[in-house]
Chains A and B, each alone.
Chain A
Amino acid sequence: MNAKDILGRRGEQLAVEHLQRAGLRILDRNWRCADGEIDIVAAERRALVICEVKTRSGVRYGTPLEAITRQKRNRLRRLAIRWLVAHGILFDEIRIDVVGVLRSESGEFSVDHVRGVG
C-alpha cells in the first residue's frame, strides 16, 4: 500500500470516530458504484449525510477543505441518489458534509468537519 493510501485510511478512520462523537450514525463506508465512491454514509436524525473525507500531510498544495471543488460536490450529490436507489431508504433531507484531516509535521492530526456544503 502506498504511503498516501495509508494516510487516507488513517484519515477516514479519524473522520468516522469524529462523526460518531458528534452523534452521527455511520451507515456505510467506502461504498462504490460505477460513478465513483462515497467515503462515509451516515445519518443524523432524519437526514442522510454523504461525507467526503480529505486527508493531507501538509498545506503545500492547499488545505484539505480547499481541495473540495464545486464539481466534486456535484458528483457527491449524484452518488447520494445512487446510494438511496440502491438501498431504498427514505430520508427527509440529503446533506453533503466534508471532513478535512490534516497531519502536522509533528505527526498530530487535526479534524475539521464542515456541515452542509451544498
Chain B
Amino acid sequence: MALARTHSIALVGVQGHHVEIEADIENGLVALLLVGLPDTALREARDRIRAAIINSKEAWPQRRITVGLSPASLPKRGSSFDVGIAVAILGAAEVLPAASLADLMFIGELGLDGRLRPVQGVLPAVAAAVAAGFGTVVVPADNAPEAALVPGVRVLAANSLSSLLGWLRGGCPAAGSSGAAIWQGGSLPPDSGGPGPAGAEVPGRDLAELVGQPTARRAAEICAAGGHHLLLLGPPGVGKTMLAERLPTILPRLEAAAALEVTAIHSVAGTLPPGGPLLIHPPFCAPHHTATKAAIVGGGSGIILPGAASLAHHGCLFLDEAPEFSRDVLDALRQPLESGEVVLARLGLTARFPAKFTLLLAANPCPCARAAGSGPAAVGSAGLTARPLAARAACTCPPVARRRYLARLSGPLLDRVDVKVEFLPVGRAELLSDRQFTEPSSVVAKRVQLARERAAFRLRGSRWRLNAEIPGSELRRSYSPAPGALAPLERAMDLGEISARGVDRVIRLAWTVADLAGVARPTVTEVSYALGLWLGAAS
C-alpha cells in the first residue's frame, strides 16, 4: 500500500535528536509492528495509538502496519512519539495528504480517547527541532506556553487528535475555543532577562531578618556577586540555614539565554510551574541529606533525569548539614564543580546535563553541635557574657570526633569552596538592638548587581560572566592583580596553607571583592581579605 513519514525528537538528557518516523502499510495479517529500539512505554504506544485513532472517529487500517523509528541505534524512550506515529499511520493509510506532513515536527502523548497529553522536556525538544531546520512544531495544548519560549518557532497547539487532523486536512485552527491554536515562538515575557530589578521576591524572606553575623552577610554578598562557593560553619540556631535560604533574594535575574537553559532542565525533570513556564529567577535547590548520588547528580535507568546539581544550574545548590551527606554523594559533586556539567553514561548513549551552580554548604562544627567557635580565643568578649546557658554548655565531643565529623567534607571538596565562614552565637546586644541596622535584600541586591555588571564589562567578549567562571590560565594571563598584591598569598603558600588551585580561587575572590568595592584591580587589601575568606573567617 503506502508509506508516510513524520518527524519527532528523542531527548537524551537535555539534548534533542531528530527522529524520523516511517509508517508502512502492506497486505498481511492485521498487526502493528514497532521497530527501532523502543522502551516499554514506547512499545505500549501501539495500544494507545490504536485506541486514540478509533476514538477520534478515524478508520484503523486493516492491514499489516510497520512503524520504524530511525536512527535505529538510538534508544527511544517515553510516550512523546505517540502523535508522530499516529499521524504517520494515517498518512500511510492515505486519509491525510502526505505532503502536509513533510516539514512538521510532532511531539506529544496520546490518551485512549484521542486527547493530546502533555509530555516532559518540550522546551529542549522544540529547540532541537528548530536547530534541525523545522519551522512548525505540533505540541499538546498544555505544553504550548513552554514550546513558544523558543525563538523563531511556529507552535501548533492541539488538544486532541481529531482537531489536529482537521488542521492537517487543510482546515483552519479554530480560534481560541477547543481544537488547535497557533502560537508564535520567541515572545519572551518583557520582564525576563536583562538588567531588570534584581532579586527574587520570596514572600517572608529577606536578608534583613538575619541579625548579627556581619562577616557571614558580607561573605554571602561576595558569593552572590562572583558566583563563589560558600561554607557556613557554626552551632545550631545562629542563622546558617536562614542565610542560605535568603541568598536567592540578592541574586540578579537570569539573562535570557540562561533562563532558557534553566527552564530546559526543569522541563526534562517535570518541575516547571504550570502557566508561566519561563524561570527567570536563579533556582534554589536544597536536597535532604539522605539524598542518593542519583538524586544529586542525576540518573535513572529508563529516562535519564537531571539531579539536584543540574536543577540548581545558574542558581544555588544548598546542602544543609553537609557532613551528614554520604561521602560518595559529596565527592560526586567534584566533577560538576570543576567542569560545570554532569556526564552520565548509559547503554548506547551519554547524557549531558549542565550543572553550573553556586554550592552552599552548612555544617555544625561537631556531632553534639554545642561547640561555640573553634576555641575560647575565637569567642568575642561581648558574646561570652550574653550567650544563653544552653549554648554556653561546652562541647562534649572528644577532639577526635570533632575532627572526624568535619573530615567527612573531603579535602578536595573543601579546596573547591572559595569562602568559608564560621558563625558565632549571636549576642544579646546584636539580637535586640541591631535590627534597624541590618540591610534588606533589595539594598544588597543592588550592590551585587553593580559588581556583576562590572565583572561582565571586564569579561565582555569572553564566554564567562562571573569571576568564578574564569579558568586559571586565563586568570593568570589577563586578569592578574596589581603588582605586589600577591604578597599575602605567597606567604600562605610558603606555609603550605593553600594549594595551587586555592591560589587561583583566592585571586578570583579578590576580583569580586574589588568589584564590590569599586576598585579597578585587586590590591593587597582585597587579596588579604579574599585569603581570609578562603582560609575561613569567624563571624
Other-chain contact of A73, B27, B29, B62, B63 (Cβ < 8 Å): B29
Q: Would you call A66 and B28 a contact (CB within 8 A)?
A: no
* Chain B contacts for A63, CB-based, 8 A: 30, 60, 62
Within 8 A of B (CB), among A58-114: 63, 65-66, 68-70, 73, 100, 112, 114
Q: Is there a chain B Cβ closer than 8 Å to A115's Cβ?
A: yes
- Residue with the highest number of chain A CB atoms closer than 10 Å, among B27, B30, B63, B64: B30
Q: Would you call B29 and A68 a contact (CB within 8 A)?
A: yes
Q: Is there a chain B Cβ closer than 8 Å to A1's Cβ?
A: no
* Chain B contacts for A100, CB-based, 8 A: 62
Other-chain contact of A118, B28, B60, B62, B63 (Cβ < 8 Å): B28
Given A100-B62, A114-B62, A69 and B29 touching (CB < 8 A)? yes
* Chain A contacts for B63, CB-based, 8 A: 114
* Chain B contacts for A115, CB-based, 8 A: 27
Give A63 to B30 CA distance when docked, in angstroms: 10
Give A73 to B31 CA distance when docked, in angstroms: 14
* Chain A contacts for B62, CB-based, 8 A: 63, 65-66, 100, 112, 114
List the B residue with the shortest CB-CB distance to A66. B30
Tell me the minimal C-beta distance from B62 to chain A in angstroms.
4
* Chain A contacts for B29, CB-based, 8 A: 68-70, 73, 117-118
Tell me the minimal C-beta distance from B95 to chain A in angstroms.
16
Q: Is there a chain B Cβ closer than 8 Å to A23's Cβ?
A: no
Give A69 to B29 CA distance when docked, in angstroms: 7
Interface string of B58-95 (1 = CB under 8 A from A): 00101110000000000000000000000000000000
Given A112-B62, A114-B62, A114-B63, A68 and B27 touching (CB < 8 A)? no
Give A69 to B30 CA distance when docked, in angstroms: 8
* Chain A contacts for B64, CB-based, 8 A: 117
List the B residue with the shortest CB-CB distance to A70. B29
Tally inter-chain residue pairs, CB-CB below 8 A.
Answer: 27
* Chain B contacts for A36, CB-based, 8 A: none
Tell me the minimal C-beta distance from B530 to chain A in angstroms.
75
**B contacts with A: majority SS:** loop
Give A63 to B62 CA distance when docked, in angstroms: 8
Give A100 to B30 CA distance when docked, in angstroms: 12
List the A residue with the shortest CB-CB distance to B61. A65
Tally of contact residues, A, Cβ under 8 A: 14
Q: Would you call B30 and A116 a contact (CB within 8 A)?
A: no
Tell me the minimal C-beta distance from A32 to chain B in angstroms.
24
Tell me the minimal C-beta distance from A107 to chain B in angstroms.
20
List the B residue with the shortest CB-CB distance to A98. B29
Interface string of A44-63 (1 = CB under 8 A from B): 00000000000000000001
Q: Would you call A65 and B30 a contact (CB within 8 A)?
A: yes
Give A87 to B280 CA distance when docked, in angstroms: 82
Tell me the minimal C-beta distance from A56 to chain B in angstroms.
12
* Chain A contacts for B27, CB-based, 8 A: 114-117
Tell me the minimal C-beta distance from A47 to chain B in angstroms.
14
List the B residue with the shortest CB-CB distance to A67. B30
Within 8 A of A (CB), among B20-42: 27-30
List the B residue with the shortest CB-CB distance to A63. B62
Give A73 to B64 CA distance when docked, in angstroms: 14
List the B residue with the shortest CB-CB distance to A59. B54
Give A70 to B28 CA distance when docked, in angstroms: 10
Give A74 to B24 CA distance when docked, in angstroms: 24
Give A90 to B28 CA distance when docked, in angstroms: 25
* Chain B contacts for A68, CB-based, 8 A: 29-30
List the A residue with the shortest CB-CB distance to B28. A117
Interface string of B367-400 (1 = CB under 8 A from A): 0000000000000000000000000000000000
* Chain B contacts for A114, CB-based, 8 A: 27-28, 62-63
* Chain B contacts for A69, CB-based, 8 A: 29
Tell me the minimal C-beta distance from A20 to chain B in angstroms.
20
Tell me the minimal C-beta distance from B412 to chain A in angstroms.
61
* Chain B contacts for A66, CB-based, 8 A: 30, 62
Tell me the minimal C-beta distance from A87 to chain B in angstroms.
26
- Residue with the highest number of chain A CB atoms closer than 10 Å, among B28, B60, B63: B28
Known contacts A63-B62, A116-B27, then 4 further A-B pairs from the complex at CB < 8 Å, ordered by chain A residue? A63-B60, A100-B62, A114-B27, A115-B27
What 6 pairs between A and B have smallest CB-CB spacing?
A65-B62, A66-B30, A65-B30, A117-B29, A117-B28, A116-B27
22 contacts between A and B (CB under 8 A): A63-B30, A63-B60, A65-B30, A65-B62, A66-B30, A66-B62, A68-B29, A68-B30, A70-B29, A100-B62, A112-B62, A114-B27, A114-B28, A114-B62, A114-B63, A115-B27, A116-B27, A117-B27, A117-B28, A117-B29, A117-B64, A118-B29
